[in-house]
Structure 1
Amino acid sequence: MLMRRVVALMVVAMLALSACSSGDPDATASADLRGSIDRIEIGNSETLAPSLDFVPGLEYRRAETRKVWEGNGGVLVDGQPLLLDFYGESLEDGTVLINTFDGLPRPFLLAPELLGEALYEALRRANVGARFLHVAPPSEENPDEPAMVLVIDVLPARAHGTVVEPRSDHPIVVLGATGEPQITMREGVAAPGELQVATLIQGDGEQIREGSHISVNYKAVFFDTGEIFDSSWDPGKAPLETRIGVGQALLGWEQGLIDQAAGSQVILIMPPAVAYPDKGTMVFVLDILDVWNPED
């Protein structure tokens, strides 16, 4: 599968954060026919994806990686959820092989057992917002595959925006170092009889509407006890991808997330009628990481 190849390529790509190579170039190849990462330019396209400018059909016999920019977000932390955008083309003829920029980014976790040691070691030194350019020659396992060029963006895996004053009758939410919310119930506050929605961090990204594809991190606790019911922040889990307005999500999400923006953090207090009928009122805190509206 293509994603398996992408992950494998990233392991090689991140072995160094500056231009690097593996193996020796073909000494018999003409210099005019030998490809190099320095001859590839990244530009803008009419969509969210980058454009790539290169001479097709050149021979790439070594892997090369270049950090395009550092990123101005926080340094990635062990075990945190991770979102990566990919755009890749065949260096043989420019065929687009993967494009998540015009869709949803791919969720991962920053853990060596999930990413492999090489990729883990490189990404844990990267900042959110960093961009990498990688050239991968055909693999030894599949020598007939074309050489490939990838643009890889490291995206925020937590809410980012303007902090909003919380309601005094809502649970207390405190964020850990990775952005994981800790939710504490207030004493003497009764569970509401209907869905309550409040924004804790106001993002400025794409808005959710019916039909939107979303990527979120979430934590859910029982209103009565504060006990955790479910969390995408748990070790071994990654951000959840779902769709709003088509029956894929809980009714409380379907109603409460409409018009919320990417980058926002939202608290939903959900009675059984819009959550789980047999589990009582629940509290969800969701970080809206990405929103994709296909018709845009």
Structure 2
Amino acid sequence: MLLAVSSCGSIPEDWKTPAFLQSDEEELDERLPTVTGEVGEEPELEFPDIAPPEEQISGVIHENDEGEGELIRADDMLLAHIVDYQWTAKGEYEKTQSTYEAGAPVVLQLEQMGEELTSDLVDQRVGSRVEYVFPPQDPEEAAAMGQPEPEPGASVSVVDVKDRFGKGETVSGEQTTDGGDGLPTAKDEGSDEPEISVPEGDPPEDLESVQLIEGDGPEVEAEQQLIVQYTGVTWDEGEVFDSTWSRDGAPATFAIGAGQVIEGWDEGLVGENVGSRVMLAVPEDMAYGGEDAQQSGQDNPEGALVFVVDILGAVDVATPEEQASEDGEDEDDGGDSGGEE
């Protein structure tokens, strides 16, 4: 499946065949299952009356050529819906996974995926749909890549691109305040990394949040996946200790309100609107702590911290328990197996 392949960032050599369709070709390979339905709704697939191909093929099923969606770049982070099928033999197939059913799209890091996966996506627009067919994977190669034993037959993935987030991207909107009044300040630097100035004196004892830019998107909810641009400095020295800008401005993504980040982020960002720029003054006990900050070999800063966070997106995600439940329901129902009538 595409998700499994993209997570390892590589693809077996014997999958890289001339049958891979480039996105500028006018006709789709006849061996691709026919995909119908509107982008944004779960697609329906009709499989050709042939055995599964033994080579990788793919193609752009729907080009969003109306000029409304943003162009996808090779170093983007994508938000996408994916539907997977297992195509085991002529007339035999079964749906194995659907983010539409789970109600939660996934995040794809294009730079971590091979060109064989990204070439049909790059230079398309948000709102496009791409289909992939992957041949059966050799069990020995799967084991060497640390993957479980592959299912028999070819796997089919249909990818609907819902949104994109590019390097250096920041929220739009006018910054109405720089902060201050005893709290740090951060001037609007446009698309550049914000410069945070920390005042003299002790940090606040409680978490302080200042909305520098008010977004008009939906409110961030606990356990959503956030896509953000951020910079963090220490209160004592005012020095940057972590920043997405140090990674070429590539946005970061993580679960919020789920204990995966510091408490100051979990409490300070849940309830904010997507599209907002938020400055957080985080006390020591809601950051990494004092002398215990450097744990498990991680070089975490001590004391109070200050962050400026641009909330680019917030996405519902399916928990492993929910996904297992969805998969179990598919198995109980027999999936969407098809055959000749």
Same fold? TM cut 0.5:
yes
Alignment check: 8 A CA contact 2:236 2:304 kept: yes
Q: Which of 139, 163, 175 is matched with 1:155 structurally? A: 163
Aligned to 2:99: 99
Q: Which of 253, 259, 262 is matched with 1:240 structurally? A: 253
Alpha-carbon offset, residue 95 of structure 1: 0.9
TM-score by length of 2: 0.62
Aligned to 1:172: 187
| 1:50 lines up with 2:44 in the alignment | no
Tell me, in whole angstroms, the C-alpha distance in 1 between the residues paired with 2:236 and 2:254: 28
**Secondary structure in structure 2 of the residue aligned to 1:87:** strand
| 1:16 lines up with 2:36 in the alignment | no
CA 1:243 to 1:164, structure 2 compared with 1: closer, same or farther past 3 Å? same
List per-residue Cα deviations over 1:252-287 (Å, max 9, x = no partner): 112211211334332212122321333233222223
Percent identity, please.
19
Alpha-carbon offset, residue 201 of structure 1: 4.0
Number of residue equivalences: 269
User: Where do 1:68-83 residues align within 5 Å?
Assistant: 68-70=63-65, 72=68, 75=71, 79=75, 82-83=77-78
**Secondary structure in structure 2 of the residue aligned to 1:253:** helix
Alpha-carbon offset, residue 160 of structure 1: 4.3
Equivalent residue letter for 1:171: A
Alignment check: 8 A CA contact 1:107 1:238 kept: no
Q: Which of 294, 299, 304 is matched with 1:281 structurally? A: 304
Alpha-carbon offset, residue 148 of structure 1: 0.9
Alpha-carbon offset, residue 123 of structure 1: 5.1
| 1:132 lines up with 2:124 in the alignment | no
Structure in which a larger fraction of residues adopt helix: 2
Structure in which a larger fraction of residues adopt strand: 1
TM-score by length of 1: 0.69
| 1:260 lines up with 2:272 in the alignment | yes
Alpha-carbon offset, residue 187 of structure 1: 7.2
List per-residue Cα deviations over 1:113-142 (Å, max 9, x = no partner): x33345566655345x24232131534647
CA 1:161 to 1:250, structure 2 compared with 1: closer, same or farther past 3 Å? same
Aligned to 2:79: 84
CA 1:273 to 1:187, structure 2 compared with 1: closer, same or farther past 3 Å? closer
User: Where do 1:199-278 residues align within 5 Å?
Assistant: 199-210=211-222, 212-217=223-228, 218-235=230-247, 239-244=252-257, 246-278=258-290
Equivalent residue letter for 1:95: K
**Secondary structure in structure 1 of the residue aligned to 2:63:** strand
List per-residue Cα deviations over 1:32-78 (Å, max 9, x = no partner): xx6545x321337xxxx621123246436472311431564555566
Alignment check: 8 A CA contact 1:266 1:287 kept: yes
List per-residue Cα deviations over 1:196-251 (Å, max 9, x = no partner): 213344444442234x222233321224444221234543976232230x433312
Equivalent residue letter for 1:256: G
Q: Cα RMSD (Å) of the superposition?
A: 4.1
Structure 1 residue runs without a partner (length 5+): 26-33
CA 1:187 to 1:214, structure 2 compared with 1: closer, same or farther past 3 Å? closer
Higher Cα Rg, which structure: 2
Tell me, in whole angstroms, the C-alpha distance in 2 between the residues paired with 1:205 and 1:144: 44
List per-residue Cα deviations over 1:81-109 (Å, max 9, x = no partner): 5133131232654514342772252242x
Tell me, in whole angstroms, the C-alpha distance in 1 between the residues paired with 2:2 and 2:123: 26
